[in-house]
Amino acid sequence: MKTFYNLQEQNIAMKKTQQNLELEVKGRRESQVTMKSQIDHFHLMLESLPQIAFTLNEDGIVDFVNGKWYQYSDAEQNFLKHILMITTSGKNWRDAEKRKSPGIRNKN
């Protein structure tokens, strides 16, 4: 009888754990949808800027450019060269990149 009682308690505990995990997964999915929406909104704002704009991921790789880049650069090779030149030049950029500081500005 004691074994049956222990199994029933374990079963109840496992169901509670499963419910908690399902709630966590649901919350994470909702957070991902919200974050995707915010990123899309941010990209839309960057598209509306009259200046060239781009974003980098955490590895320093360009993951978004606005349409002004395509007007600025005459060919894709030049386009990539311009971005590479901007993202790798300037002491302020390298220092901020080492610190992982947001809002990197090049004072040149």
Q: What pLDDT does 106 receive?
A: 41
- pLDDT tens-place string over residues 70-103: 787 766 656 666 666 666 654 455 566 666 655 4
CA neighbours within 13 Å on the CB side: how many for 81?
A: 7
- pLDDT tens-place string over residues 21-50: 999 999 999 999 999 999 999 999 999 998
**Residue (of 50, 54, 108, 58) closest to 82 by Cα position:** 54
User: 11-38 burial, b for 16+ CB within 10 Å, e for fewer?
Assistant: eeeeeeeeeeeeeeeeeeeeeeeeeeee
